Chain A
């Protein structure tokens, strides 16, 4: 698998009890060139998915995670909201293309939420508070490009790989 594209749209009933990360990762690592990056790719997918679900679909606020107690409260609220979820969706559009030196994995993830003021968030330089704020920092660091799109309910992350990486991993 070298040049491919797939979309997956998950609705409320599915989001309640289905974890799409193993499935998505399984598809990505069908490309041997991507398989050597699976740990990093998992982290990118997990961050983008949890942001879409937690903030976009469920409307949870990360500022709750200011201390250990808030961190635990955040995840118990998440469980409650998810159990009662009646509407909402997350769309994955994932595409892999080859380049002269390797390839690019383009991940576009859109949620049914109303978005947020990402310009202000970007201007604040991704403020980290307590136990939150590291997810997007990670994605930005691991990916060649990262953008918020539309009202902020859609993101695009581009992960690039080059052939020498593959050779290094094999030695």
Chain B
């Protein structure tokens, strides 16, 4: 699994892309992507276009990002979900906590 991240020109939006299996093996890289910014982002996009598999450790990582970004007030979109990935997010009710786009 690899993590790459990109901040928008105005610094307000952070996109984190996950390629490969999404699980705890890149926990530190995932956290660094949002914790080490000079100014915290206002909006977050998690791009799962290149991620086919995830497990519950990935769900924990998403929830940690959500808490960091302000909990109920967090603005996080999970985009380009594969159908099986979306299924996992729906079963665990994470679709109620995040905006999810296929």
User: Which positions in A face B, CB cutoff 8 Å?
Assistant: 21, 37-40, 42-43, 46-47, 50, 65, 67-68, 71-72, 75, 130-132, 134-135, 137-138, 141-142
Asked whether B91 lies within 8 Å of A142 as measured between CB atoms, the reply is: yes
Classify the secondary structure of B's interface with A: helix
Q: With the chains together, A120 CA to B67 CA distance in Å?
A: 30
Q: With the chains together, A21 CA to B87 CA distance in Å?
A: 20
Residue B50 interfacial (CB < 8 Å): no
Q: With the chains together, A149 CA to B47 CA distance in Å?
A: 39
Classify the secondary structure of A's interface with B: helix
Residues of the B chain whose Cβ atoms lie less than 8 Å from the Cβ of A134: 56, 59-60, 92
Residue B57 interfacial (CB < 8 Å): yes
User: Which positions in B face A, CB cutoff 8 Å?
Assistant: 21, 23-24, 27, 31, 52-57, 59-61, 63-64, 67-68, 82-85, 87-88, 91-92
Q: Which of A43, A130, A137 contacts B55 (CB 8 A)?
A: A43
Residues of the A chain whose Cβ atoms lie less than 8 Å from the Cβ of B85: 39
Asked whether B56 lies within 8 Å of A135 as measured between CB atoms, the reply is: yes
Q: Which of B23, B27, B83, B92 contacts A137 (CB 8 A)?
A: B92
Asked whether A39 lies within 8 Å of B83 as measured between CB atoms, the reply is: yes
Chosen A-B contacts, 28 in total, with CB atoms closer than 8 Å, are: A39-B52, A39-B82, A39-B85, A40-B84, A40-B87, A40-B88, A42-B21, A42-B53, A42-B55, A43-B55, A43-B84, A46-B53, A46-B56, A47-B56, A50-B56, A68-B64, A68-B67, A68-B68, A131-B60, A131-B64, A132-B56, A132-B60, A134-B59, A135-B56, A137-B91, A138-B56, A138-B91, A142-B91
Asked whether A47 lies within 8 Å of B55 as measured between CB atoms, the reply is: yes
Q: With the chains together, A110 CA to B63 CA distance in Å?
A: 30
Asked whether B55 lies within 8 Å of A135 as measured between CB atoms, the reply is: yes
